[in-house]
Structure 1
Amino acid sequence: MRVAFVLGTTSGGTGRHVLMLTEGLVRRGHRVLVVGPRSVEEQFSFAAAGARFVEVAVSDRPHPGNDLRAVLAIRRLTREAEVVHAHGLRAGALAALGAGGRRGRPAALGAGGRRGRPAALGAGGRRGRLVVTLHNALTAGGLVGFVYGVLERIVARRADRVLVVSPDLGERMTRLGARDVRAAVVPAPALRPAKRTPEEVRDELGAGQRPLMLTIARLAQQKGLETLLDVAAGPWRERTGLPADLAGGPLFLVAGEGPLRAELEGRIRREALPVRLLGNRDDIPDLLGAATAVLTAARWEGQPLSIREALMAGKPVIATAVGGIPEIVGDAGILVPYGDVQGLRGAVRTLLEEPGAAETLAAAAARRGREMPGGDAAVASVLEAYGPQDPTG
């Protein structure tokens, strides 16, 4: 099968996911083309995984001239593909426009339950199936929200199948007219073993025996870090229920970089908050080993790698009940509504003060970590979504 992946600028989970699919498809004898910005090839090395990579500037923000060039390039490069699989809303909309004409017919089932031939491209021959995986939801409004809504409608009306990382995304795409919406299987790579002991990590941080609440996140609006700082600002020092060596309360660690660093640093400094911004780290397994729990206050998440890694490490999770988080966490953590500072603060207290709570959640986390789908399951899932191929194509 000839599969063309289309993706935009990414430095995180989307790129790793496409690389994993590329490796799995190539191992199975399929021919893979990856279309995207040069930066994604430099970071993920799709060519080294056996794919053909072609640079196309699929930017993360609208630009009429660049977008038109991208649409034309995608149309030309994917003409022979039996399946075009775009990742992300921007890439999905550009791939849909590049497909030409109206959406193909394969989603319309005949009396025998079999899918018909796709719509024709005209002289260029018929188009292959268009599959779009949506990895994120918009959490901003205004003009950005309006543009996002337009792109959603393009994908919903033109894609043959839409794969989503959370139920709310699926419900939205169905309301917008998508005819075939399915859950995406997004596995986490195996967690690397820690290189240092928890005690060594604590010594580096000067944490003593204080509980460590670890957040792994880009320092960006979606991650709800202002709420995290509100939680950290709680009256931890006034508590008398904690042992003397924990009287300072938990220490909040944030691993990641992003545009909000200066703003967050300023508030941490002004309010003397027990928060450390650690920057980008290549020792996440070490940090997980030392952490008491993983905490996220995000506005929205799909299937975040940080939470899946926490579960594989057997760490309890405290998180906002948004996007795909509840399905991933299950009984392995404490979930609260987004923006509920008191709820998050109370969840931390429950974990630290309620006898047996941390141990029970850790055991549940380890169990769910073992149940996480692997790369083979993800590849099998997309092959099913691609559907049977027409032998005349």
Structure 2
Amino acid sequence: MSLASSHSPHGRSPLRTVQVLGGGSAGSSAHVRTLASGLVARGVRVTVCAPLEAERIYDFSGVGGLHVPVPRSTDPAALAALRIACGEADLVHAHGLHAGLRAALALSGRPTPLVVTWHTRAYVEGARAALVHLLERRVARAASVVLGTSSDLVDRARRRGARDARLAAVALPAPRTPAEHDDDPERLHSKTRAELGATDRPLLIAVGSLDRHRGYDVLLDASRAWRRLDPAPLVVIAGEGPLRTVLQRRIEDEALPVRLIGRREDARELLPAADLALLPSSWESRSVLAQEALHARVPLVATDVGGIRELVGDAAELVRYGDAKALATAVVRLLEDPERRRLLREKGTAQAATWPTEDETVAQVLSVYDELTQVLPYV
């Protein structure tokens, strides 16, 4: 007997759900893994339609889900595979805008409820922005319920015509593999700092793809002001993306105290060694970096955009996006004020304690499923 059927109450057939994931950001992919694990434990059957690469990294099968390889595409073959996978589902849950569109197309003509979680929004300008607007409207109107990970995403879904849009905060998953074991955290931090080249200087860490919306151009502008400090802090940016060459050229031409270290699977383990975490983005929803920084008791300097203030409260230094001078000033002030850094660590711990756990996240999502499928709760 399967785990799902053994947990089904009253002998009833278990709820059958399909989770649809596109290319999948780290946050949305980890969230699907959390849901798969928690739902299966509650007697729900879970099929995860995702690219093979996502299964390789997040191992949905390892937590009891059935993985069906479906590429991130709207071509007829991919849609046909998705339609087959959703054929016997009681409910389909898509994660992200493109996954939502593909799920809506695959369910066309069927009464199956569709839940779509908006984890973030598209970063486009010009003609593409108009196309994204139409796409958002199509997905919002097709969904039975849109779940937004921040209040501004919920408002955005409502503006696009969602009949039911709700806030559904996504929990930060616990690390899947333990960090390097060391009985002395300070020793481990020292080792990390030595590897990054910051043994005798402050270490500032930013994590995220090297895309325009991340605000790294502003971060490089701000780093000019830190060269006057003695010792000058080192900025380390973990991530890859289309702006790598442009950013690297600026770093070299202007002799900026910045290192690009590429995509790092261990970025979460690097963060505790930092003196400050930096988040200069033009927009963020429920930033993984912000959550990890507060959990790791690393003071955070972030732009006051999107869902950041809602997420961190007063447990971070918030500055206006695009204001390099304000960013530089906030960093210098924190580096020179150990008491303020201590206070932010304490506030960060308290703020993180208010965030939902993975179990609470699963329970909230399942309550939406129960509502839409009109079955008794599985919790």
- The 5 A counterparts of 1:282-297 are 282-297=265-280
1:366 Cα offset (Å): 1.9
1:44 to 36, 55, 58: 58
Aligned to 2:208: 217
1:43-70 residue CA offsets vs partner (Å, 9 max, x unmatched): 22212221122222223xxxxxx43443
1:97-132 residue CA offsets vs partner (Å, 9 max, x unmatched): 22224xxxxxxxxxxxxxxxxxxx3xxxxx221100
Aligned to 1:97: 105
Q: Measured at CA, do residues 73 and 283 of structure 1 come closer, stay the same or move farther in structure 2, by a change above 3 Å?
A: closer
- Give yes or no for contact 2:272–2:297 (8 Å, CA) kept in 1: no
Matched, 1:157 2:171: no
User: What one-letter code is carried by the residue in structure 2 that aligns with 1:18?
Assistant: V
Aligned to 1:226: 217
How many pairs does the alignment contain?
A: 354
**CA distance in structure 1 between the aligned counterparts of 2:341 and 2:325, rounded to whole angstroms:** 19
**CA distance in structure 2 between the aligned counterparts of 1:323 and 1:275, rounded to whole angstroms:** 26
Aligned to 1:79: 87
1:390 Cα offset (Å): 3.5
Aligned to 2:34: 20
**Which stretch of structure 1 is more off in the superposition, 185-194 or 271-280?**
185-194
**Which stretch of structure 1 is more off in the superposition, 189-198 or 213-222?**
189-198
Q: Measured at CA, do residues 272 and 308 of structure 1 come closer, stay the same or move farther in structure 2, by a change above 3 Å?
A: same
1:7 to 21, 24, 48: 21
**CA distance in structure 2 between the aligned counterparts of 1:58 and 1:376, rounded to whole angstroms:** 28
1:171-228 residue CA offsets vs partner (Å, 9 max, x unmatched): 1111121111111221112355565522222222332332211101111222111111
Give the 3-state SS of the residue equivalent to 1:151 in structure 2: helix
**CA distance in structure 1 between the aligned counterparts of 2:78 and 2:285, rounded to whole angstroms:** 27
1:358-388 residue CA offsets vs partner (Å, 9 max, x unmatched): 1111111122233332210110111122233
**CA distance in structure 2 between the aligned counterparts of 1:272 and 1:204, rounded to whole angstroms:** 20
Matched, 1:182 2:166: yes
Give the 3-state SS of the residue equivalent to 1:273 in structure 2: coil
Give the 3-state SS of the residue equivalent to 1:188 in structure 2: coil
1:274 Cα offset (Å): 0.3
Matched, 1:170 2:170: no
Give the 3-state SS of the residue equivalent to 2:18 in structure 1: strand
1:334 Cα offset (Å): 0.8
Give the 3-state SS of the residue equivalent to 1:387 in structure 2: helix
Aligned to 1:343: 326
- Give yes or no for contact 2:227–2:257 (8 Å, CA) kept in 1: no
- Give yes or no for contact 2:286–2:307 (8 Å, CA) kept in 1: yes
Give the 3-state SS of the residue equivalent to 2:153 in structure 1: helix
Give the 3-state SS of the residue equivalent to 2:75 in structure 1: helix
- Give yes or no for contact 1:132–1:162 (8 Å, CA) kept in 2: yes
User: What one-letter code is carried by the residue in structure 1 that aligns with 2:219?
Assistant: L
1:344 Cα offset (Å): 0.9
Give the 3-state SS of the residue equivalent to 1:380 in structure 2: helix
2:236 to 253, 256, 261: 253
Aligned to 1:197: 188
Q: Measured at CA, do residues 286 and 173 of structure 1 come closer, stay the same or move farther in structure 2, by a change above 3 Å?
A: closer
**CA distance in structure 2 between the aligned counterparts of 1:203 and 1:30, rounded to whole angstroms:** 47
1:324-352 residue CA offsets vs partner (Å, 9 max, x unmatched): 21112111111112111111111112212
1:138 Cα offset (Å): 1.9
Aligned to 1:386: 369
- Give yes or no for contact 1:314–1:369 (8 Å, CA) kept in 2: no
1:308 to 274, 277, 291: 291
Deviating above 6 A after TM superposition, structure 1's stretches of 4 or more consecutive aligned residues are none
| Unmatched segments (≥5 aa) in structure 1 | 60-65, 102-120, 122-126, 239-245
- Give yes or no for contact 1:313–1:369 (8 Å, CA) kept in 2: no
- Give yes or no for contact 1:11–1:43 (8 Å, CA) kept in 2: no
Aligned to 1:373: 356
**CA distance in structure 1 between the aligned counterparts of 2:67 and 2:248, rounded to whole angstroms:** 39
Matched, 1:357 2:340: yes
1:145-178 residue CA offsets vs partner (Å, 9 max, x unmatched): 2221121011111101001112221111111211
Aligned to 1:124: none
**CA distance in structure 2 between the aligned counterparts of 1:237 and 1:218, rounded to whole angstroms:** 25
**Which stretch of structure 1 is more off in the superposition, 195-204 or 270-279?**
195-204
Matched, 1:319 2:302: yes
User: What one-letter code is carried by the residue in structure 2 that aligns with 1:207?
Assistant: A
- Give yes or no for contact 2:83–2:107 (8 Å, CA) kept in 1: yes
**CA distance in structure 1 between the aligned counterparts of 2:375 and 2:338, rounded to whole angstroms:** 62
**CA distance in structure 2 between the aligned counterparts of 1:372 and 1:391, rounded to whole angstroms:** 28
| Unmatched segments (≥5 aa) in structure 2 | 1-14, 182-186
**CA distance in structure 2 between the aligned counterparts of 1:283 and 1:55, rounded to whole angstroms:** 26
Provide the aligned C-alpha RMSD in A: 2.0
